[in-house]
Structure 1
Amino acid sequence: MNSRKDQLAAFNRLLNIMDDLREKCPWDKKQTLESLRHLTIEETYELADAILDNDLPEIKKELGDVLLHIVFYAKIGSEKNAFDIADVANSICDKLIDRHPHIYGDVNVDNENDVKRNWEYLKLKEGKKSVLEGVPKSLPAVIKANRIQDKVAGVGFDWEKPEQVWEKVQEELNELNEEIKKRNQQNIEKEFGDVLFSMINYARFIGVNPENALEKTNKKFISRFQFLEEAAKKEDKKLSEMSLIEMDVYWEKSKEFFK
């Protein structure tokens, strides 16, 4: 691994390159905070994909792309005389020190839950009116539900045992089933949302990240279905002309390769 001196030199090199690009490259000169936004979201998802694939070389590459965006935003901020990269770094340093009084102060904690609880109380002391203020409105729904539940749990609003949460899941499933029998589409959607919310809550209690779990299942399904497509193609068959029983033969075989 590189020494701290080498790490700082590499970061300084990136800052110098950013200065050059902003001054000399027609594309980089045109960029604004707003124009970079969608690109940053894309880069973040690419990093998330690499993490799920446990592809360390790709993670390194995607982290570089995200770091470039941070440096880019800071460069634009300095041009507006609003902030620069030092302000960005010092801002997060100050926050980390303030939010970790058990490291930089005299607060005692026994476990991770104590840390999370202190974190939420400190944010309220900083002026936030609700522990849920920090949940971005544009987060995907599964991630948002997980963050909402995690945050309210941080101030003690939570179930005590996983069994209680599972009972809630069963209760919500029964309510959904009743609305399906009544064929009330509006209520079906509402109860289905409650089922998902309770399942996400249960995932937290059993140590599963629901977003990661669902995405891994998505990837597995894609791999199995593409195996089915390739197998059918090799036998000059079209899926649209095959029966479900015929397709299921290939599907079962795909499970040998993609588990």
Structure 2
Amino acid sequence: MSATGAELERLVGIMERLRSEQGCPWDREQDLRSLRPYLVEEAFEVLDEMDRVAYGGPWRPLCEELGDLLFQIVFHAQLAAEKGEFTMAEVCRSISDKLTSRHPHVFGEQKLSGSEQVLANWAKLKAEEKKRKTGREGSVLDGVPTAAPSLLRAERLTEKASRIGFEWPDLASVRAKLHEELGELDQAVTSGDRDAIEHEFGDVLLALANLGRFLRTPPEDALRMATRRFTTRFQHIEAALRAEGVPFGEATLEHMERHWQAAKAAEKALPPPTSLPRAPLTSLRFQVPDLPAQRAFWNAVAPLLGWQAERGAPDEASYGDGALRLVFTPGGSSGASGAALCLGAPSARAVERLRASLEASYPGAIQGAEPQRIRFRDPAGLRWEYTA
């Protein structure tokens, strides 16, 4: 079993334990209705971290939030399993089957060129699937949640309609439609008819959402970033006014506008976010003079670090934590440079547990130990630190 499969099995097991008679009272009380707000909250927290990464932030918090969202999926699958409806395995199989069947150009013999053909074929396959299940093809617009944010829904509806040819020929036509809708809104504003104003303002927003789709700039994301900038700039105004001793609510519009422009200038002075994709470190490979000794050592140590032995080639020993792999192969000479490879420990207790195990089985491996850190060498002479 792969590391991914093993960790998913572990998560499903934890969920089963939480819902068992000996589990957590809170988890046992939950049902589909009570979990709805948590699912939405976790999805938005993932979105927050995606925004931070887009502006040059770290990736690790996104990993944690994706885990929280995955837990919600496992929780819902467990509730279904308890009622005999379906299991987490069926959830995985369902999406795997769907992706395979809707990508015949990848998993079959069909030939498609370009993403437009892929999307058009996706819509056709989806309609065929629905007809087999229900006897009718349904609408190409099916599947866009009615509870989704309106700008997101508008973009997705126009995108789905475009898959069967209901599409503007070019960007200029979309821009002209927006100009037309703005003119009709002006007429409604002049009339003073509230219903007409709402109607035409909605058409303007729909045209803007469609323009965002043509610009490959999702309007929901663009507006979210704009409100984020507004918040930052306005809080700059508030801080500046407090520093100047201006009483709350007594600043003039002109005064606040000066600070607003200063905040915009400060934004422009910042360097642009790094846009190059990060090259993740996926494996470390070492040649060692005595592979059996190295394998015996790491077979004992890896579980204490939360790592697992992985199945690899016969002439290598491989260990992984789901993200990084250590691979040892025959060759090289004993000993290493003065550099040490550092591994993060979840707690001081984990450090102490490793120290006790090494003292019992490999006392000569320990190079130094402190309450929060242990230094050791493996049989190949590689130096390691395990620190909380």
TM-score (norm 1): 0.95
Matched, 1:122 2:125: yes
* Conserved? CA contact 1:99–1:122, under 8 Å: yes
Distance 1:175 1:254 in 2: 35
Q: Could you say what secondary structure the match of 1:193 adopts?
A: helix
Match of 2:88 among 85, 105, 108: 85
Higher helix share: 1
For residue 32 of structure 1, what is the aligned residue in structure 2?
31
* Conserved? CA contact 1:223–1:258, under 8 Å: no
Matched, 1:214 2:223: yes
Matched, 1:75 2:78: yes
**Cα distance, 1:61 vs structure 2:** 1.1
Match of 2:243 among 231, 234, 242: 234
Bigger mean CA deviation after superposition, 105-114 or 63-72 = 105-114
**Cα distance, 1:53 vs structure 2:** 1.6
**Cα distance, 1:19 vs structure 2:** 1.7
Instruction: Map residues 47-196 of structure 1 onto 2, 5 A cutoff.
Output: 47-54=46-53, 55=57, 56-126=59-129, 127=131, 128-196=137-205
One-letter amino acid matched to 2:103? H
Distance 2:159 2:257 in 1: 40
- Deviations 1:94-138 (CA, angstroms, capped at 9, x unpaired): 111111111122221110010110111111112241011111111
Bigger mean CA deviation after superposition, 10-19 or 199-208 = 10-19
Matched, 1:8 2:5: yes
Distance 1:245 1:214 in 2: 26
**Cα distance, 1:28 vs structure 2:** 0.6
Distance 1:104 1:255 in 2: 50
One-letter amino acid matched to 2:4? Q
**Cα distance, 1:49 vs structure 2:** 1.2
Q: Could you say what secondary structure the match of 2:66 adopts?
A: helix
Identity %: 38
Q: Could you say what secondary structure the match of 2:2 adopts?
A: helix
Distance 1:188 1:208 in 2: 27
Distance 1:183 1:258 in 2: 39
* Conserved? CA contact 1:47–1:63, under 8 Å: yes
Distance 2:247 2:160 in 1: 49
Distance 1:19 1:49 in 2: 29
Higher strand share: 2
One-letter amino acid matched to 1:33? L
Task: Give 1 or 2 for the bigger CA radius of gyration.
Answer: 2
**Cα distance, 1:236 vs structure 2:** 1.7
- Deviations 1:34-68 (CA, angstroms, capped at 9, x unpaired): 11111100110111111112142221111000000
Q: Could you say what secondary structure the match of 1:257 adopts?
A: helix
* Conserved? CA contact 1:176–1:191, under 8 Å: yes
Q: Which runs of 5+ in 1 are unaligned?
A: none
Distance 1:9 1:169 in 2: 52
Match of 1:247 among 221, 244, 256: 256
Matched, 1:21 2:21: no
- Report the count of equivalent residues: 256
**Cα distance, 1:5 vs structure 2:** 2.1
Q: Could you say what secondary structure the match of 1:53 adopts?
A: helix
Q: Could you say what secondary structure the match of 1:83 adopts?
A: coil
Question: Once superposed, what is the RMSD of the aligned Cα atoms?
Answer: 1.2
**Cα distance, 1:197 vs structure 2:** 0.5
